Structure 1
Amino acid sequence: MSAPTTTAVSQVDVHDPRVDPPPEGWAAFRARCLPPVWDYELLRREAWLAKNPPVLAVVRRGSRIAGALSVMVCRSWRAVDFGPVSRGRVRPRWAEVYLPLLSGYPACVFDEDFADRRAAVREFERALRAYVGPGLLGVIYRAMNPELVPALDGRGRLSREIDPAAVLVNRYSTVDEWTAGLAPEVRQYLDPGVATEAAFGRTDLDPHELAVLLNAHRARQDERAWASGQRSRIGGLHMDTRSPVAPAYLDALVRRPDVLTRTYRDETGRLLAFNTMLDEERGCAVHHWAARPSADGGRKGLYVDCYARCVAHMIAEGRPELTAGRAMLPEKTALGFVTRSLFSVAVPRPVLGR
């Protein structure tokens, strides 16, 4: 772990979840401000199983954690090996403040009453530069909420609006109110007659089965997007730094009491689709979704039924909103979702910390 860097405003520590213990006060900050994917054990598993392992930067105001940034230290887009990244040699690297396993949520979060965000961001950049060493080329802040941009932007920094996140605001008293707004060609996929089961904290699932289905689904999405000209062939997603989702990660995720996992199976018990939904008082999030294609025995439109059940949970529990990432926006618009703007900011090394 790097030595703390201190100013009159804040202190920033950089932690490697693979080898460092959880920061003091982390559990309380996570519960107060962050979705479940920031759980330290999940961060640890993600880091050990990623080709670009994330580190965790913690911003403190006195002894209290006031902010956090999840940061992938990246090498080549073509890198295929996994495991620890050595800091002993000078190698060109860049860093991405990004949550690759929760699209549409920023990987930079502060307490609502923390006012010195701009100074804290500069302090983070200096701490990260010292942690990574002279090979750090710069930092990319991906998928940031608009209110974060003033703290990230500045001279020599490039910001641009990217694909937005899908959001359904809870203005409904019943599910029927929501379904009434759906087109007939969408409503036909509700209740598809496929066996489905959902529960929090599931221990009955095979994480390898889930991972195979999920990674195949993601690969097909990338191939379709590349074919349509939206993405680069390098890794599927343009400048793709994501890793496949590992069974060990999913095993820990679906066991959590705040993660609702729904499965769909055919009459033989074969897994057709599954979804994980993150559930908090702050709101719900349609997290992972994966389904078999029709050519492999899949059933068309299962995602509509899944979203309907997520909406029903949001309404029943009185959650303020349901978010659903950045993919398949036309399909989500047909389900009543609107969009929330997101921005990315690129910071080259010469202006880091300035």
Structure 2
Amino acid sequence: MVCHESDHVHLELLDPRHDPEPPGWEQLRRAAGQYVTWRYDLLRAYAWAAQTPVLLAVLSEGGIAVGAVLASLRGIRPRRGSYARGRDIAGVVDVQVPGSRSEKGWWFTGDPEPERRRELLRAYVRGVRQALGPGWRCVLWREVPSGESAQLPGVVKVRLPTAPLARLATPWTGIEEWYAWLGGTRGASLRSWARRLDADPGLSIGVGPARELVTGAEASVLRAENDLKYRNRLFPLAPLPQPYFDGLVASDEVVAVAYRDGRRLIGLSLTMDHPTWPICLSWGALAPEDGGRKHLYFDFYVRMVEWAIKAGKSGLVLGKGKAEIKRSLGADLVSSSAIAVPC
């Protein structure tokens, strides 16, 4: 743990592998409305398997926590496997949430004004540079919503295009209203596929708390297979280790849709619960030629929309990728960017 003071903002810089959980962290996370991905035991599990060091910064003023920033420290030397020794003397501070492209890597308590947010993030950048050294000359801010780039400190900002984020509002009283709202062939096909899968005698479909439906080992295998399809992104996210999934599925904040052929898991979605906007975190399934079923990808959205309606949620964050498919399901596509800022 390293502490820095910058612009009257106190920075507690933590390596989740070794540093203990900050006092009151879990209460702070929940009070700020942050998802389970920020739980400290999950950050620790990710950090031990990561290819680059992970740095959590807790920002405080007057002894009161006011925000947090999470980053991967991407050094100039290539590494293989997990890192075993310290960090590089130079590199990029990559602000991101491990395993989730639907969240920003920073947040604040309360609702500070935009200029105050900029001041807090400026203090973060200065404090991190003091801790890491002069070779760390750039911060990459991921998943910056449209209109928020002005809150990021720095004069020169390089915008890197990223996929839009799909958000589906769920104002309906039942799943049939959603089908009717979609209309045309999309609504009819979703209804038809769901009925066929329900009638499949060899298939069981479970929707509910993940800890009751799946193990961490099963979840990690399907997630890893799905991640292999998306390895061509800039700074691809490291594979999530099984201990991460062990903690994730054991949480009371994760909902699963699990498809089984007998005892064999052939499809799985994990969704991070939230009072208003749960996030669909991951999806994985076996191909039909490997024992899976057709149309499971579409069907899990049907199950989650039905769950969200019954649970009284405002909507679902469907995540990134396959934007046009998600638009066809009624989702709005919200633009965001990665922004590189030399410092």
Deviation at 1:312, TM superposition (A): 1.5
The one-letter amino acid of 1:212's match is: V
Question: Which whole-Å deviations, capped at 9, do the CAs of 1:299-351 have from their partners, x for residues lacking one?
Answer: 12112221111111211121112001111112211211111121221012xxx
The one-letter amino acid of 2:79's match is: A
Deviates more, 1:246-255 or 1:207-216: 207-216
Match of 2:54 in 1: 54
In structure 1, C-alpha distance between the alignment counterparts of 2:55 and 2:257, rounded to whole Å: 30
Match of 1:344 in 2: 338
Match of 1:227 in 2: none
In structure 1, C-alpha distance between the alignment counterparts of 2:11 and 2:326, rounded to whole Å: 38
In structure 1, C-alpha distance between the alignment counterparts of 2:192 and 2:84, rounded to whole Å: 49
Match of 1:36 in 2: 36
Deviation at 1:120, TM superposition (A): 0.8
In structure 2, C-alpha distance between the alignment counterparts of 1:290 and 1:159, rounded to whole Å: 31
* 274 and 28 in structure 1: CA distance in 2 versus 1, 3 angstrom threshold: same
After TM superposition, which residue ranges in structure 1, 4 or more long, deviate above 4 angstroms? none
Deviation at 1:206, TM superposition (A): 3.6
In structure 2, C-alpha distance between the alignment counterparts of 1:305 and 1:12, rounded to whole Å: 45
Match of 2:11 in 1: 12
Q: CA RMSD in A?
A: 2.1
Q: Percentage identity across aligned positions?
A: 27
Match of 1:247 in 2: 242
In structure 2, C-alpha distance between the alignment counterparts of 1:321 and 1:185, rounded to whole Å: 22
- 2:208 is paired with a residue whose SS is strand
- 1:280 is paired with a residue whose SS is coil
1:335 aligns with 2:329: yes
Alignment of 1:60-209 (within 5 A): 60-75=60-75, 79-87=79-87, 90-115=88-113, 116-152=116-152, 154-180=154-180, 181=182, 183=186, 184-191=188-195, 192=197, 193=200, 194-200=203-209, 202=211, 205-209=214-218
Deviation at 1:92, TM superposition (A): 3.1
Deviation at 1:71, TM superposition (A): 0.4
The one-letter amino acid of 2:112's match is: F
8 Å contact from structure 1 (residues 285, 322) kept in 2: yes
Deviation at 1:207, TM superposition (A): 2.4
8 Å contact from structure 1 (residues 53, 85) kept in 2: no
Deviation at 1:77, TM superposition (A): 9.1
In structure 1, C-alpha distance between the alignment counterparts of 2:162 and 2:41, rounded to whole Å: 30
In structure 2, C-alpha distance between the alignment counterparts of 1:201 and 1:296, rounded to whole Å: 24
* 175 and 85 in structure 1: CA distance in 2 versus 1, 3 angstrom threshold: farther
**Structure 1, unaligned stretches of length 5 or more?**
223-235
In structure 1, C-alpha distance between the alignment counterparts of 2:211 and 2:266, rounded to whole Å: 17
8 Å contact from structure 1 (residues 146, 341) kept in 2: yes
* 197 and 78 in structure 1: CA distance in 2 versus 1, 3 angstrom threshold: farther
The one-letter amino acid of 1:344's match is: A
The one-letter amino acid of 2:290's match is: D
8 Å contact from structure 1 (residues 202, 255) kept in 2: yes
In structure 2, C-alpha distance between the alignment counterparts of 1:58 and 1:110, rounded to whole Å: 10
1:312 aligns with 2:306: yes
Aligned residues: 331
Deviation at 1:147, TM superposition (A): 4.8
The one-letter amino acid of 2:291's match is: G
- 2:284 is paired with a residue whose SS is strand
Deviation at 1:262, TM superposition (A): 2.3
In structure 1, C-alpha distance between the alignment counterparts of 2:190 and 2:324, rounded to whole Å: 12
**Structure 2, unaligned stretches of length 5 or more?**
none
- Which residue among 263, 288, 302 is the counterpart of 2:258? 263
* 335 and 26 in structure 1: CA distance in 2 versus 1, 3 angstrom threshold: same
* 29 and 166 in structure 1: CA distance in 2 versus 1, 3 angstrom threshold: same
Deviation at 1:80, TM superposition (A): 2.4
* 62 and 207 in structure 1: CA distance in 2 versus 1, 3 angstrom threshold: same
Match of 1:45 in 2: 45
- 1:4 is paired with a residue whose SS is strand
* 81 and 323 in structure 1: CA distance in 2 versus 1, 3 angstrom threshold: same
* 159 and 170 in structure 1: CA distance in 2 versus 1, 3 angstrom threshold: same
- Give the structure-1-normalised TM-score: 0.87
- Give the structure-2-normalised TM-score: 0.89
In structure 2, C-alpha distance between the alignment counterparts of 1:281 and 1:55, rounded to whole Å: 28
The one-letter amino acid of 2:103's match is: Y
8 Å contact from structure 2 (residues 119, 153) kept in 1: no
Question: Which whole-Å deviations, capped at 9, do the CAs of 1:225-269 have from their partners, x for residues lacking one?
Answer: xxxxxxxxxxx23223411121111011000011112211113x2
Match of 2:22 in 1: 23
Deviates more, 1:116-125 or 1:57-66: 57-66
